[in-house]
Chains A and B, each alone.
Chain A
Amino acid sequence: QLQLQESGPGLVKPSETLSLTCAVSGDSITTTNDFWGWVRQPPGKGLQWIGRIHYGGTTSYNPSLNSRVTISVDTSKNQFSLNLTSVTAADTAVYFCARCSNSGGWLDPWGQGILVTVSS
């Protein structure tokens, strides 16, 4: 059974870089042609897509975050990562990782999510 687990600091200072990792277990990240993505949810608000990556390295990002986001993949560790630079309080959110189906674009499964708070 495919499982995803986010990890990283729960507190980041303003202007610094938020870095999270999503560990994939139950299957290799290179087995399928699917993408691997990040979604966030500010407290009490809706879902916002951040971006996605294919194990071959192809990426796409939300235009509203494009200049600050980098998603990378490490196939040897079966994981992918998110870097978000120059964070502000508006980046405080629960961050989820998920597999993004290449055949239809749905996200399944999802990680449990990790709350990241931006505060000094």
Chain B
Amino acid sequence: QSVLTQPPSVSGAPGQRVTISCTGTSSNIGARFDVHWYQQLPGIAPKLLIYANTNRPSGVPDRFSGSKSGTSASLAITGLQAEDEADYYCQSYDNRLSGYVFGTGTKVTVL
């Protein structure tokens, strides 16, 4: 069961900016737990893209950025490229479930 809600899909032309929202509740994002983002290319394991709301692991382009406010978080991709076409998932911790929770996932399509 996915506790965090994401739009099923977003799309944009190369070079454009797209954003993906991740909406939670008072027991996860709203409880000040960090939000993390993953990129999953077809047939490949998820890869950490953003950790602790705004931080990029080494090697992740600065076209990817994260933010968090209240019970929601967002992932922004600027200068969209064909290689960014993938599924994206947010993740946090939920103190009511006492465990990790994932978002429903968003498919990014580059037009």
| B-binding residues in A (CB < 8 A) | 37, 39, 46-49, 51-52, 60-64, 96, 100-101, 104-113
* A105 touches which of B34, B44, B46, B47 (Cβ 8 Å): B34
12 extra interface residue pairs, beta carbon distance < 8 Å, beyond A47-B105, A109-B48: A47-B91, A48-B102, A52-B100, A62-B97, A62-B99, A63-B98, A105-B33, A105-B36, A106-B51, A107-B100, A111-B45, A112-B45
**What total of chain B residues lie within 8 Å of the partner, measured CB to CB?**
27
A113 CB contacts on chain B under 8 angstroms: 45
Task: For the complex, give the distance between the alpha carbons of A117 and B41 in Å.
Answer: 22
Interface contact A47-B89, CB-CB below 8 Å: yes
A49 CB contacts on chain B under 8 angstroms: 99-102
Interface contact A46-B46, CB-CB below 8 Å: no
| A-binding residues in B (CB < 8 A) | 1-2, 33-34, 36, 38, 44-48, 51-52, 57, 89, 91-93, 97-105
Interface contact A108-B99, CB-CB below 8 Å: no
Task: For the complex, give the distance between the alpha carbons of A107 and B39 in Å.
Answer: 12
Task: For the complex, give the distance between the alpha carbons of A103 and B97 in Å.
Answer: 19
Instruction: Evaluate whether A51 and B102 lie within 8 angstroms (CB atoms) in the complex, with A46-B89, A104-B51, A105-B36 already known.
Output: no
Instruction: Evaluate whether A106 and B45 lie within 8 angstroms (CB atoms) in the complex, with A49-B101, A63-B97, A100-B100 already known.
Output: no
